[in-house]
Amino acid sequence: MKCIQARYSRRGPNPHEVIEAVEVELDAPGPGEVLVEVLASPINPSDLLTLSGVYGILPDLPATAGNEGVGRVAALGEGASSLRVDQTVLLPLGCGTWSSHLVARADELVALPDGADPRQLAMLTINPPTASLLLSEIVDLKAGDWVIQNAANSAVGTYLVALAAERGIHTVNVVRREGAVAAVKAAGADTVLIDSDDLAERVRGATGGQPVRLAIDAVGGAATERLAASLGDGGTIVNYGVMSGQPCQVSPTHLIFRGLTLTGFWLATWYARASMEQRASLYGDLTRRIARGELTVPVAETFDVADIKQAVAAAALGERNGKVLITPKHA
């Protein structure tokens, strides 16, 4: 059957210029395989970095883009009896999810609850576990502790606000523009501040002088230094993103005289080290919460996979509130 895939054969600084919507002939599912109609797949910052050639893992070229998503089982190959037609499934990580259809092994697909919003489930694999683990794996946080994060209007930031509130952890949420404040407050943030050179002083006012134990940095560059200045002595900065495209900047005085620690987090590293039980526990809990509507993030725009250039260009813009999703049209 014919399908549309978002493919690229080169990498470059402008991701929308290297990606193309291509019609390809897809083989029927073989033994143990299923044909899946892709319902939704997000465009994450890591996808843009992959297209630019600066991510930690780069697939061989040419490649089909898209790292996560959900689909509906359309046909079963011989012996693929663990699934049923029309079942909603979580797609394997890194399988090229910016496609109208794909063929996957049945044992690599995870059945998802019926009736849940596929757009929210499509974002399950990367951002919610990242937010959860940033709160649990870096510092031993207790109820009443303060955490500060930048890029608070991002998907990770939105999940983190909700998960921190559930655990009784207070959040200072930093954004770069006034237009992002309302959405972060609506997510349940304790306080939202616009990033600026006097951030540390305003953070102390927001926390009533209580020390901030953990700073979560998705930006890098000078933004990391502003988070460092906002931490209490002995605090930790964890960087998980490079939205600025610049190396993290932290004055040695923070590290030497105030005992701050700068570290990094990458979900792929945690996943490789975690046991099957730890993975199942984390993803099972998050799946249930997302399916029940307890964890959600705004969706800014949706695009058909045929419009992948426009979709990637929209995802690269900073002036939006919510995620850009690929939601393929099916005849």
Which sequence positions are flagged as catalytic? 55
* Residue 299: closest CA among 326, 263, 318: 326
Sheet holding 212-217, edge to edge: 191-194, 170-175, 146-149, 212-217, 236-239, 261-264
Instruction: Answer for the pair 151, 157: CB distance below 8 angstroms, yes or no.
Output: yes
Sign of CA dihedral 271, 117, 188, 151: positive
Instruction: Answer for the pair 170, 232: CB distance below 8 angstroms, yes or no.
Output: no
- What token pair was written down for 1? 């059957």
51 vs 19: CA distance, rounded Å: 8
69 vs 140: CA distance, rounded Å: 32
Instruction: Answer for the pair 32, 104: CB distance below 8 angstroms, yes or no.
Output: no
Sign of CA dihedral 34, 38, 39, 40: positive
Q: How far is CA 167 from the centre of its chain?
A: 21
The residue behind tokens 């089982």 is: 73
250 vs 229: CA distance, rounded Å: 9
CA angle in degrees (0–180, nearest 5) for 212-216-221: 110
Helix (H) or strand (E) holding 104: strand 101-105
